[in-house]
Amino acid sequence: MVNRLKNKTAIVSGAAQGIGLAIATAFVDEGARVALVDIDGRRGREATSALALRGAEVCFVEADVADSTAVDTMVAQATERLGAPNVLINNAGIVVFRDPLDTTAEDWRHCFAVDLDGVWNCSRAVLPHLLRHGRGDIINIASVHASQIIPKCFPYPVAKHAVIGLTRALAIEYADRDIRVNAISPGYIGTEIVERIFASALDPDKLRAETNALHPVKRIGRPEEIAAAAVFLASDEARFLTAQNIVIDGGRSVVFHQ
């Protein structure tokens, strides 16, 4: 621990597991106060309790990021418990994969309500605090789907492309107020969701080996590798970096044909 985030207060959505929990953990290890936010109350409280046992200054707020009223309440509660936030990590998201013509209005709305509206709801609620601070950071967890199209994944990449547009628009809008807005686009990362996909295959070991082989580095990523990038973006080391999307995929998206 080198306290790169000392005196910072962060809100991390989707923090009960996977990348969100890895980011929350890395932030407290670097000296930040962290409000973990998730729609899964049980897992969120368990994760928060585990961090608190390590001496971290944390709290948990259960909220659905797709509900703007719930988000306003969440930010108010987090502020009351830990102080006004100066870092927001928009990590909460869902996966909706459909054939385009089989995509229902409900499928479309659900995907965008969480993956895009959720990012805006949280950003809108936190931005006034950042403006009062006179500086701050918003970090949106997008996806390689935000820049590359993978067949059979509609409409998820549409929402993630929009997250990059939102990132860039907000970054430029508030750049002269010392508020930085950036995105991180993970590729294959060894989260519980990916592990469940492997486990559901007829031959899990074969699918895992094939997936590893897709990557120039010959493995998939780890949640803590995404968390390390988030720490950097939230630190004072990245003060001149804004409106950017950092792709973390082991080089996979650079490969044209394989």
Helices in 175-219 by DSSP H: which ranges? 192-200, 204-213
Q: In terms of domains, do 16 and 97 share one?
A: yes
Q: In terms of domains, do 204 and 141 share one?
A: no
Residues 39/62, Cβ–Cβ less than 8 Å: yes
Q: How many domains, in total, are found in the chain?
A: 2
Q: Does the pLDDT at position 75 exceed 90?
A: yes
Q: Which residues pair with 168 in a beta bridge?
A: none
Query: For residue 53, how many other CB atoms are within 10 A of its CB?
Result: 8
Q: Is residue 253 part of a domain?
A: no
Q: In terms of domains, do 129 and 211 share one?
A: no
Q: Which distant-in-sequence residues (6+ apart) come within 8 Å of 205 by Cβ?
A: none
156 is catalytic: yes
Mean pLDDT score, 5-19: 98
Tokens of 178: 């010392």
Q: In terms of domains, do 175 and 235 share one?
A: yes
pLDDT of residue 256: 85
Q: In terms of domains, do 37 and 112 share one?
A: yes
Mean pLDDT score, 16-35: 98
Q: In terms of domains, do 208 and 179 share one?
A: no
The alpha carbons of the chain give a radius of gyration, in whole angstroms, of 18
Element spanning 182, H or E: strand 179-186
Residues 187/144, Cβ–Cβ less than 8 Å: yes
187-208 pLDDT tens trace: 999 998 889 889 999 999 999 9
Nearest CA-CA partner of 252 in 210, 214, 222, 209? 214
Q: Is residue 3 part of a domain?
A: no
Whole-Å CA distances, 21 to 11, 37, 43, 48, 76: 12, 10, 10, 9, 21
Q: In terms of domains, do 150 and 194 share one?
A: no
What is the number of alpha carbons within 13 Å of residue 89 lying toward its C-beta?
Answer: 38
- Among 27, 60, 120, 156, the active-site one is 156
Residue-number span of the structural domain to which 94 is assigned: 9-186+222-248
pLDDT of residue 1: 57
83-114 pLDDT tens trace: 999 999 999 999 999 999 999 999 999 999 99
Tokens of 190: 């060894």
Q: Is residue 106 part of a domain?
A: yes
155-191 pLDDT tens trace: 999 999 999 999 999 999 999 999 999 999 999 999 9
Longest dimension (CA), the chain: 54
Q: In terms of domains, do 216 and 227 share one?
A: no
CA distance 24 to 161: 25
Q: In terms of domains, do 38 and 143 share one?
A: yes
* CATH for 113: 3.40.50.720
CA distance 207 to 167: 34
